[in-house]
Chain A
Amino acid sequence: MLGVGALGVAAGRAVGQIAATMLVASALAFSLVPLFPGDPAFAILSQAVGPLPSAEAIAGKRAELGLDRPLAERYLSYLSSVGHGDLTRSWVSNTPVSELFASRAGATALLAGTALALALATTIALGLISAAGSGRWPDELARTLAIGGAAIPPFVLGLLCLQYVVIKLGVGKVVTDGTVHTLALPAAVLATGIACLWIRPLRALLLDALTSPAVLVAQARGASRARVLFVHALPHAMVGFLPFVALGVGGLITGALVVEAVFSWPGLGLLVVEAVRRRDVPVIQGFTLYATFAYVVASKGADLMARVLDPRLRSAGAWAPR
């Protein structure tokens, strides 16, 4: 069918763009080592061996890391290692970065996934309430909550929750353990940050859909308000909402960093924060790559999903300009 062909082309383009973005990200990641205001060999050795490594040890380490080779050569070799899944080794613990990531990824996935689901559910529920009762008190309440929630940054909210809910009221644990048992509060805090940013766009999209001619016609056929909302308005709004979902994923990545720090959630975010504090560049490099990858895949994924869902876009030849 013609539609599938065009979709395939679009998917191919998306892959190309992801590759291009990853290339730029890899350049940024790579450049961190040359940018490092010091000698990486010195940094590694003083961590591992002691405060004053010998000149021979430093020279040996430099050779091992290939630090004196030309930049272009180093970049290419970096690219090829990354392509093979080798993200070099941590300067602090000497463990392969990929191993470090693997051990922590699960906890972050759990946190982020739960937060995403929570945020979506809350946003859709509040958005529907808002749009269905537009202008009346549920709408005003939802909008005020959205602004209020957006005004309190997740990390501040997290801190407040930590202090008031956990410490004062004794609910939950101060130090979370990365499993479902202590998931509720961190996930809720992370979800709130995203949901507050989502509610108003979804509400606007729903209201847009509710005033469209298609909805008028559906009502003229005898459809009830509820049917119009769920069968006509919501699907339309969701298609237009996809770009915001992609942004939300981006927000999750960075939000997780801070929420994990506040709650000491043993995930990738905490790992990276510690790495930044200790100037463990390879971990930071790995994080740059992973975070960019997750974000750009979410973005392009959302674009493609919009194409899949909206039949009009499937046959369109040219890539819709952003």
Chain B
Amino acid sequence: MTPPLRFAAVDVTYSSGVRAVRGVDLVVEAGQCVAVIGESGCGKTTLARAALGLLPGGAAVTGSIQVGGVEVAGARPAVLRRLRGRRIGLVTQDPFASCDPLRTVGHHVAEAWTAHRMRPPPGAVVAALDRLGIPRAEARSREHPHQWSGGMLQRATIAAASAHEPPVLIADEPTSALDADRAHAILAALRATHAGLLLISHDLSVVAGHADQVAVMYAGRIVEYGPASRVLAAPLHPYTAALRAAEPRPGHGLPEGLAGGPPRLDQPDAGCAFAPRCPLADARCRRELPLLLSGVACHHAVPA
């Protein structure tokens, strides 16, 4: 079965020289939720954009990105446009920023069809909103985004993204702009679409609650990968352990921040990128890049 989304040996380099993604292999199977976590700048958003073919001009992609078996890297604009919205959908972080404030929410959802120069079938917009639990969808769809709450607007965005039932959805920090209690509801809504889900998030509790697999990224590479339950409960990579420790948890006192600064992405690899900040780093770490083996890329793979 062709997976709805597959990255193979993907490298993304921006025109500024920054290599944001380095040698990433990742697969999202049908109906599966794969979460990508990591601090800002680790390459998660770049991955998402690359899958949609929406990287800024001048960005170079090597490797293969396949959406339902169709190659996206280097594809022609017409090919990409056919895929977007129909075989792959996008939900972004801030619903107020992604909805056109000058137009109604109904227009925003109808965009799923009008973008492809089709008219939405009568009642389709209202039905889509209904499916996501928006009360009085008919009347509310005529309102403007600023009249909706963040949580509801994000549901509308999900409605738009999943209107054509694409086999895979990319959700880039879908809950970061919302209150914590809404977060789980949004994830539930996303999973209810039954699409494969590439979930980009830094909210570990959300990831723990809903993801099947977790990939941890650092400096453009995947440093750990495995079932969500295992990776978050018993991390093998020191960075994952640090991420977990940095999360506030009730009863565990103040979280410990990660020492050191973010890695530089415009330089070629010189050993493990995490070495400068890693408590376990030694000479080998600084010299030799650890490969992803058995779900972890570390010379000292130890349980936390």
Contacts and interface: CB of A to CB of B under 8 A. Distances in A.
- Note whether A and B contact each other (Cβ less than 8 A): yes
A227 B115 contact: yes
Given A221-B112, A223-B115, A311 B146 contact: yes
Given A213-B97, A222-B85, A311-B146, A239 B102 contact: yes
Given A222-B86, A225-B77, A311-B146, A217 B98 contact: yes
Given A310-B102, A312-B144, A220 B84 contact: yes
Contact of A224 (B81, B98, B112): B81
B160 A216 contact: no
Contacts of B83: 222
A212 B102 CA distance: 14
B146 A213 contact: no
Contacts of B85: 220-222
Nearest to A214: B100
A311 B115 contact: no
Contacts of A135: 57
B163 to A, nearest CB: 9
A235 B100 CA distance: 10
Interface string B143-159: 01010000000000100
Contacts of B90: 216-217, 220-221
B54 interface: yes
Contacts of A219: 52, 54, 84
Contacts of A225: 77
A143 interface: no
Given A216-B92, A312-B146, A221 B111 contact: yes
A218 interface: yes
B99 interface: yes
B115 A216 contact: no
Contact of A221 (B57, B77, B115): B115
Contacts of B54: 216, 219-220
Interface in B66-105: 77, 81-86, 89-90, 92-94, 97-102
B116 A236 contact: no
A233 to B, nearest CB: 10
Nearest to B94: A213
A309 interface: yes
Nearest to B90: A220
Contacts of A239: 102
B81 to A, nearest CB: 5
A159 B291 CA distance: 73
A60 B52 CA distance: 86
20 contacts: A212-B97, A213-B93, A216-B54, A217-B90, A217-B92, A219-B84, A220-B54, A220-B89, A221-B85, A221-B160, A222-B84, A222-B85, A222-B115, A223-B81, A223-B111, A224-B81, A227-B117, A235-B102, A311-B101, A311-B144
Interface of A: 135, 212-214, 216-225, 227, 232, 235-236, 239, 309-312, 315
